[in-house]
Amino acid sequence: MLLAALVVLYLTYLGIRIWQERADVGPKIDRIIATADANELALPKSRVDALLKVEDPTFWTNKGIDLSTPGAGMTSLSQALGKRIFFNGFEPGLAKGELMALTRFALYPQVSKERTLQAFVASAYLGTHRGREVIGYADGAQTWFGKPLEQLTDDEYLGLIAIQLAPDRLKPGRDDTGRAERVRRIKRLLASQCEPSGLRDVQLDGCDQ
């Protein structure tokens, strides 16, 4: 009975959180998007496709959760955004279930896919530089490659995508060999020369040839 009571309390707490966040998530997304220049968020379709192929292959059709597509991993692009807007310092564990519920029932119904993508591009964590967090693809381009996002070469842009797997390890100057190898695997994936070996193959070991 104690276990049942705890379950009821948790579900009640989760329901309240979802109800609150459904009202707040739109303004939160608006504030994130407002921090970035509109031109920086208008990625060419080819670059959007590359980002989604790696980070969230079913982004346009899923409801914030994808636990079946090879390479998708356990955290969709929407959930990655959710970590930043729903939590003050996300910690894996029980919070994962809460993240999935908030993404599915608060973020997904209230925010369009286009705005979700824009907010992700504007707020993605891309490592630290001299004690400062590098936030968003535009900041990442300027910090790590010294140029505006729209001026990145294809390989440099794929480098930003590569960094996302482990930002503080794969950032320039830390593990350049590891980042270059991940870019190589991403290029093979985008060229349809390989496939991830399973859901959890976020390392793209299936493209290690």
Other C-beta atoms closer than 10 Å to the C-beta of 186 total: 21
Q: What is the pLDDT of residues 143-159, one digit of tens each?
A: 999 999 999 999 999 99
% of the chain residues with pLDDT over 90: 87
Closest CA to 195 of 184, 182, 204: 204
The structural domains of the chain, with segments of one domain joined by +, span 1-37+64-123, 124-209
The pLDDT of residue 152 is 96
Q: What is the pLDDT of residues 66-120, one digit of tens each?
A: 999 999 999 999 999 999 999 998 888 889 999 999 999 999 999 999 999 999 9
Rg (CA), the chain: 18
User: pTM for this structure?
Assistant: 0.93
**Out of 3.40.50.300, 3.40.50.720, 1.10.3810.10, 1.10.340.30, which CATH number does the structure's domain 124-209 have?**
1.10.3810.10
- Checking if the pLDDT of 1 tops 80, the result is no
The pLDDT of residue 37 is 86
Would you put residue 153 in left (φ > 0), alpha (ψ -120 to 50) or beta? beta
The distance in angstroms from the start CA to the end CA of the chain is 54
The pLDDT of residue 164 is 95
Measured distance CA(80)–CA(130) in Å, rounded: 24
Confidence band of 3 (pLDDT split at 50, 70, 90)? confident
Would you put residue 2 in left (φ > 0), alpha (ψ -120 to 50) or beta? alpha
